[in-house]
Structure 1
């Protein structure tokens, strides 16, 4: 009896197909399990954010494994991954001259608009990139693109500061780098060299860069040795304090990508050269407990029950421990240093800082840092523009460029530049 091909090959082929289907199904379920995370209904483009967050989590886990095995520091892995996506060269383009140089020994990338005739004065912006004081670069794709757009749209000179990063250095090195570069740029002869109007210079930054921008704006404002001051400060979802990791936004958005509460605390501990074992204590606010009198005045400056509107506070309650861990503040004095936490600055400092633009996102653990700082500045008599995005998440402006377009990133970037155009 002659068998048909299907009878001869059907059995093995069918088994192979079943196995392939089973493997595909398992991989699909595993992929969906890894990618899918519950997100607030109002967050912008949730599936796109899930994929982005899954990718970021994968890189974070790679860094953790490498760190655990003693191969390298976990942030080195993240920076290596980031650089593999491209550190852009200083190529100039039409109406824009780009160059890498150093200001007072600090590396910077300078973007000069060439739209005006030689000798005509332009606006100036000192820009400070984010990345938890440990990641990122003035040369990375998103920041290079942002600064190019700033220079072109504002017809300005933009100085993007390549400050040194943790874990190679710790606070106050990052702050000092940005301050030194800013002091150098604000010298009359340097501004003249770049044809920048001394009355129209801004300082700006996002996330940890917003932290450094706020801190440097404070120092420049009160330093009598610096004759030329910043006209405005523009802070994009800035991180401004490390005393309360249980503000309403820290509680509400603790698991919303791309900045999780535990990751932000890890960035703080690395920045301040602190023991990573303090993570759990900081999660519980043990470092600011009621029995620690040395933080009483500082605690009042982050009193979100007073500083935040009821609509933001919602059902959340302050987390204040009766007894804490006093050795944390002894070991990590930077927690109370306004150069690290600009929200802790005294009122006599705040009254001198320039007009402020503060951008916040609803689904961001740092939302309330920006809101509280804006309120304290207003109480000190400083003009503040608050730009808030209900669908926004931390880092969204960095995703306004190819290949990670987010509509909220494009909108927030456009409004940020429009504010600078109007007020600088």
Structure 2
């Protein structure tokens, strides 16, 4: 009996040690975030074990779990009709408000997050997000299921996003869904925000397109991997749910690079000190001038570590603007539409979004930059049960309100 009791205590202590993660005191609802992170880490560890045993790639294991738990079949309500379709050959889920007569509606093309490797627009959280957008905004929303890594790597995801964008903006498709050509937006969160920013740049610069996006709404977007030592990366390197090493891992998977480069990518110097980055690109990443002092805090650029390996020559996608929209020239940025950029204090990607908002503003674009001091990565799609959070609800409400006033 005493042995069983001791074993139970040891297991409880081990479980508590695994689950608990120290968090900043001002983050929104820390215990929910801790439990969510523990769940996510357990899935990652299971995927890594499956890959080590030769069962499958770790990402395939993760997506299998996500599909079983989250992916749902389309279902319509009295207010929103939901169907699975395709745009430009890319699978998509279409959310259309019911009724309304022959009037033209607004339209939003949405790209889901997940590090270009996980998730689906058919997940329950994204289904609920797009359903709410369609109902409250009386807007046609199309959620795109682009191909995922490791089966597809850059630029496949970008090409899928661009193909879906071109198809949605075509007069034929806009007419089919009853969308006003002057009121079409593109949006996405995390890696989906990366794709939304990239296609907004490309479409805006394409003079052959008769219809273009009128707004871009980027939710904690990932926009570059040349500097994983910005203040937000340094401050939040171990903050759930997107740890610094995990973001670096997603980048390597997305760019089809050797995973053994992970420690070298993490040990690369800050962009200001990177010997291979030319001044023209360096200025686009210069967080000492692009970030406000309150976000720079006490952090300084990180120098080259002994034995650090040069990775930009081995992984050319790191300097490809289609993968890293923050690197775009001012002339390209200046042609993009009015922007909404949401960032969270406790997110490694915070400074990507803040620098992009600043560069868009400097290029003459009207930008609404919304920052949540208690926010964490992924919070907006955690505004639904069972991972509801107050900051998630606030961010979702503000996002929908901005779309209503600007699209």
TM-score (norm 1): 0.93
- Indicate the residue corresponding to 1:58 in structure 2: 42
The 8 Å contact of residues 210 and 239 in structure 1, kept in 2 or not, is answered as: yes
For the pair 1:156 / 2:132, whether they are aligned, the reply is: no
Aligned pair in 2 of structure 1 residues 364, 209: CA closer, same or farther (>3 Å)? same
Q: For 1:4-403, list aligned pairs within 5 A.
A: 16=1, 18-117=2-101, 119-286=102-269, 290=273, 292-321=275-304, 328-403=311-386
- The DSSP-based 3-state class of the residue aligned with 1:225 is coil
TM-aligned CA deviation for residue 275 of structure 1: 1.2
Structure 1 stretches lacking a partner, 5+ long: 1-15
TM-aligned CA deviation for residue 202 of structure 1: 0.5
Q: C-alpha deviations, 1:281-301, integer Å up to 9, x for none?
A: 211225958573453321221
- Identify which range, 357-366 or 284-293, moves more after superposition: 284-293
In the alignment, the residues of structure 1 paired with residue 202 and residue 360 of structure 2 have an alpha-carbon distance, to the nearest angstrom, of 15
- Identify which range, 296-305 or 157-166, moves more after superposition: 296-305
Q: C-alpha deviations, 1:126-154, integer Å up to 9, x for none?
A: 00000000000011110111011111111
The 8 Å contact of residues 79 and 135 in structure 1, kept in 2 or not, is answered as: yes
- Identify which range, 284-293 or 90-99, moves more after superposition: 284-293
Match of 2:390 among 395, 402, 407: 407
Which entry has the higher C-alpha Rg, 1 or 2?
Answer: 1
- The DSSP-based 3-state class of the residue aligned with 1:136 is coil
- The DSSP-based 3-state class of the residue aligned with 1:254 is coil
- Identify which range, 235-244 or 186-195, moves more after superposition: 186-195
Q: CA RMSD in A?
A: 1.6
The 8 Å contact of residues 356 and 385 in structure 1, kept in 2 or not, is answered as: yes
The 8 Å contact of residues 268 and 309 in structure 2, kept in 1 or not, is answered as: no
Aligned pair in 2 of structure 1 residues 291, 409: CA closer, same or farther (>3 Å)? closer
TM-aligned CA deviation for residue 323 of structure 1: 8.7
In the alignment, the residues of structure 2 paired with residue 305 and residue 292 of structure 1 have an alpha-carbon distance, to the nearest angstrom, of 17
The 8 Å contact of residues 230 and 270 in structure 2, kept in 1 or not, is answered as: no
TM-aligned CA deviation for residue 272 of structure 1: 0.5
TM-aligned CA deviation for residue 320 of structure 1: 3.6
- The DSSP-based 3-state class of the residue aligned with 1:90 is coil
In the alignment, the residues of structure 1 paired with residue 213 and residue 206 of structure 2 have an alpha-carbon distance, to the nearest angstrom, of 12
The 8 Å contact of residues 225 and 251 in structure 2, kept in 1 or not, is answered as: yes
TM-aligned CA deviation for residue 92 of structure 1: 1.1
TM-aligned CA deviation for residue 327 of structure 1: 5.2
TM-aligned CA deviation for residue 326 of structure 1: 7.0
- The DSSP-based 3-state class of the residue aligned with 2:313 is helix
Aligned pair in 2 of structure 1 residues 363, 290: CA closer, same or farther (>3 Å)? closer
TM-aligned CA deviation for residue 324 of structure 1: 8.1
TM-aligned CA deviation for residue 30 of structure 1: 1.1
- The DSSP-based 3-state class of the residue aligned with 2:228 is coil
The 8 Å contact of residues 290 and 322 in structure 1, kept in 2 or not, is answered as: no
- Identify which range, 353-362 or 395-404, moves more after superposition: 395-404
The 8 Å contact of residues 270 and 302 in structure 2, kept in 1 or not, is answered as: no
TM-aligned CA deviation for residue 174 of structure 1: 0.2
- The DSSP-based 3-state class of the residue aligned with 1:331 is coil
Aligned pair in 2 of structure 1 residues 310, 326: CA closer, same or farther (>3 Å)? same
In the alignment, the residues of structure 2 paired with residue 288 and residue 248 of structure 1 have an alpha-carbon distance, to the nearest angstrom, of 12
Structure 2 stretches lacking a partner, 5+ long: none
- Identify which range, 326-335 or 75-84, moves more after superposition: 326-335
TM-aligned CA deviation for residue 208 of structure 1: 0.1
TM-score (norm 2): 0.97
